[in-house]
Amino acid sequence: MTSVKICGLTRSEDVSAACELGASILGFNFVASSPRRLTLERARGISSRARAGVLRAGVFANESREEVARAVREAALQIVQLHRPLDAEDLELEADLVPAVPVESGRAGLPPVPILARCRAVLWDSSVGRGQEADWAALERVGPLPVPAFVAGGLDPENVGEVIRRLRPEGVDVASGVESAPGVKDRRKLERFFEAVRRADRA
């Protein structure tokens, strides 16, 4: 099955639901400007509800490397998703790196090859939690990468199947498309999202 990352989690019950429905990765947002931003104390509490085998990812933008490293330790993060250019010092973080690259940047927005080769994956995302759908045709022209690719941006139960059939990514990443309010996941939307992913995988 295509991996599913449920991002912008702010409630323990939503962490439990995401795990129950089959999420591979749980996303916790530490970006200061985000309505889904978590304090470290809150992140520690809800991330502890993750099931064994489900990965925990932290989302960061302009936070300092020291802040990121502290969040990795205190929230037991295994993945760091960075919405800024990566450099060699980021490789010293004790977590796998996933650079978030705007779709419109294409290959020019990717990290240098020596850094990219040491990343867990690339996330194509121009939306950054705003629910804005990406230009999927532009991604079709990018071609294969040396690491797995995840896609985000305006995904919801209605369009995720088409995106999977068109791009066949390693995974999909959703936040606002399965919410009733910022940071509040809707159980029915989550169920429909996972079912749409399964249908697309069977196609």
CATH number of the domain residue 178 falls in: 3.20.20.70
The answer to pTM > 0.85 is yes
- How big is the chain, counted in residues? 203
What integer pLDDT is reported at residue 128 of this predicted model?
62
Give residue 132's Cα distance to chain centre: 15
Going by their DSSP bridges, the two strands 149-152 and 171-174 should be labelled as parallel
What integer pLDDT is reported at residue 13 of this predicted model?
97
**Tokens matching residue 92:** 């010293």
Listed as ranges, residues in the chain with pLDDT below 70 are: 127-131
Q: Give the range of the structural domain holding residue 62, as residue numbers without chain letter.
A: 3-202
What integer pLDDT is reported at residue 143 of this predicted model?
81
pLDDT digits (tens, 9 = 90+) for 103-119: 989 999 999 999 999 99
What integer pLDDT is reported at residue 141 of this predicted model?
87
> How many beta carbons lie within 10 A of that of residue 141, not counting itself?
9
**Tokens matching residue 57:** 């990812």
